[in-house]
């Protein structure tokens, strides 16, 4: 945003007969200018927040649509490949290509952990369970992140955060107890493996967050995002070619993977890092709680899925536990910075 011109420097101010500057009749006080600027910045991150939750919520629907025709591995491979192609030109425009070349090993490795493996896990799971259930399980990412940071990085856990972890994992256990079964259904699939796949994806996200914090601190966010997608694309390329379908794929499935790559990965990364810049990492992290809301809405309205009261109750328990475990609530010293 362009800084506002101070009233004292207003080009419309003219000297009076006594040589003093005459203030403009409608000059805006500096305090009002600051209030307007602050209000605009606040409304800006709120809009980004809602858009990001809506976009990431739709990723479960697009993965569901794509994996039914492409298969789990190919859907994940196309997602990261398209995302890489979308982000690389943006990286070049920012003049950060040399930075990526300097740190390619670490960013590529993180991409396997935070994109390749989780995306395959979720696309596999979405062949069996609903988008609503998978998105609720995805809300446990901060729980795994807090545990990994505590064990590995020695992050301190207050009593409130410990209680939050217990509550959050209790919600997961209750949800899995109701939905997970390792007995194959008529199609030969077992929901229990799908639930475990979602939790494995969340574990990967939690580990990659600590890896990023420890080994990639200070690296430009666009470099991290682009490098991770390129690394994931390279890792999944052989399997993507191997499992490429031998049947024609509909335009609907093509649009789904393009939306996953461009919208749910490329654009979403830009919004996410912009929220961090404008409102702090704590508010950016809290988008995890809003994602299931949109995912469930899309699933019910567009895919005809059914959401049970038990699922919603478990989701509330998980969100309460996650918000406590991350320090978003119940922490007196917590700040959104």
Residue 169 has pLDDT above 60, yes or no: yes
| Inside any domain, residue 134 | yes
Distance CA 115, CA 83 (A): 11
Q: Is 15 helix (H, G, I), strand (E, B) or coil?
A: strand
pLDDT confidence bin for 25, thresholds 50/70/90: very low
| pLDDT for residue 20 | 46
| Inside any domain, residue 85 | yes
Indicate the burial class of 60 (C-beta count within 10 angstroms; 0-12, 13-18, 19 or more). buried
| Inside any domain, residue 9 | no
Residue 89 has pLDDT above 90, yes or no: yes
| Inside any domain, residue 293 | yes
The torsion angles phi and psi of 14, rounded to 5 degrees, stand at: -125, 150
| pLDDT for residue 2 | 44
Instruction: State the total domains in the chain.
Output: 1
Mean pLDDT throughout 105-116? 94
pLDDT confidence bin for 40, thresholds 50/70/90: low
Residue 22 has pLDDT above 80, yes or no: no
Token pair 């446990």 is found at 140
- Per-position b or e across 71-86, b if 16+ CB within 10 A of its CB: bbbbbbbbbbbbbbeb
- pLDDT tens by residue, 216-261: 888 888 899 999 999 999 999 999 999 999 999 999 999 999 999 9
- pLDDT tens by residue, 280-322: 666 777 787 889 989 999 999 999 998 889 988 988 998 888 8
| pLDDT for residue 11 | 37
CB-based contacts of 217, cutoff 8 Å, min separation 6: none
> Per DSSP, what are the bridge partners of residue 22?
14
Q: Is 157 helix (H, G, I), strand (E, B) or coil?
A: coil
Query: Cβ distance 323 to 164 under 8 Å?
Result: yes
Kindly state the helix (H) or strand (E) to which residue 21 belongs, with its residue range: strand 21-22
| Inside any domain, residue 334 | no
Name which of 327, 332, 328, 336 is nearest 156 in CA terms: 327
Residue 76 has pLDDT above 60, yes or no: yes
Indicate the burial class of 271 (C-beta count within 10 angstroms; 0-12, 13-18, 19 or more). buried
CA of residue 239 relative to chain centroid, distance: 25
The torsion angles phi and psi of 15, rounded to 5 degrees, stand at: -70, 145
Query: Cβ distance 309 to 159 under 8 Å?
Result: no
Mean pLDDT throughout 173-190? 80
Task: Domain of residue 81: give its range.
Answer: 46-325
The torsion angles phi and psi of 29, rounded to 5 degrees, stand at: -60, 150
Write the CA distances from 299 to 14, 46, 120, 206, 296, integer angstroms.
Answer: 63, 24, 20, 26, 5
| pLDDT for residue 331 | 59
Q: Is 14 helix (H, G, I), strand (E, B) or coil?
A: strand
The torsion angles phi and psi of 217, rounded to 5 degrees, stand at: -65, 135
| Inside any domain, residue 241 | yes
Residue 269 has pLDDT above 60, yes or no: yes
| pLDDT for residue 34 | 52
| pLDDT for residue 42 | 55
Q: Is 183 helix (H, G, I), strand (E, B) or coil?
A: coil
Distance CA 273, CA 37 (A): 20
- C-alpha distance across the termini of the chain, in Å: 20
Query: Cβ distance 228 to 115 under 8 Å?
Result: yes
Which pair of tokens denotes residue 101?
Answer: 């070349």
How much of the chain exceeds pLDDT 90, in percent?
Answer: 46
Distance CA 330, CA 161 (A): 8
Query: Cβ distance 165 to 146 under 8 Å?
Result: yes
Distance CA 188, CA 206 (A): 31
Mean pLDDT of the chain: 83
| Inside any domain, residue 96 | yes
């Amino acid at each position: 945003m362009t800084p506002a011109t101070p009233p004292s420097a207003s080009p419309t101010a003219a000297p009076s007969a006594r040589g003093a500057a005459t203030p403009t009749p409608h000059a805006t006080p500096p305090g009002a200018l600051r209030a307007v600027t602050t209000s605009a910045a606040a409304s800006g991150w709120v809009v980004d927040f809602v858009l990001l939750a809506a976009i990431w919520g739709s990723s479960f629907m697009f993965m569901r649509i794509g994996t039914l025709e492409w298969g789990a591995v190919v859907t994940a491979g196309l997602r990261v490949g398209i995302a890489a192609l979308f982000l690389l030109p943006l990286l070049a425009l920012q003049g950060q290509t040399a930075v990526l070349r300097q740190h390619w090993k670490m960013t590529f490795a993180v991409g396997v952990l935070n994109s390749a493996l989780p995306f395959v896990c979720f696309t596999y799971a979405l062949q069996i369970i609903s988008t609503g259930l998978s998105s609720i399980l995805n809300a446990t990412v901060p729980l795994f992140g807090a545990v990994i940071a505590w064990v590995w990085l020695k992050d301190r856990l207050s009593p409130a955060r410990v209680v939050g972890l217990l509550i959050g994992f209790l919600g997961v256990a209750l949800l899995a107890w109701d939905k997970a079964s390792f007995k194959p259904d008529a199609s030969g699939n077992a929901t229990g493996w799908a639930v475990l796949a979602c939790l494995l994806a969340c574990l990967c996200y939690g580990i990659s967050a600590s890896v990023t914090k420890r080994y990639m601190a200070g690296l430009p966010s666009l470099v991290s995002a682009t490098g991770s997608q390129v690394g994931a694309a390279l890792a999944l390329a052989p399997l993507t070619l191997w499992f490429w379908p031998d049947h024609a794929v509909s335009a609907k499935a093509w649009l789904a993977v393009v939306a996953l790559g461009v919208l749910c990965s490329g654009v979403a990364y830009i919004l996410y890092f912009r929220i961090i810049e404008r409102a702090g990492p704590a508010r950016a992290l809290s988008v995890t709680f809003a994602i299931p809301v949109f995912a469930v809405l899309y699933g019910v309205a567009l895919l005809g899925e059914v959401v049970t009261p038990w699922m919603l109750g478990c989701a509330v328990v998980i969100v309460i536990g996650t918000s406590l475990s991350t320090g978003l609530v119940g922490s007196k010293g917590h700040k959104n910075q």
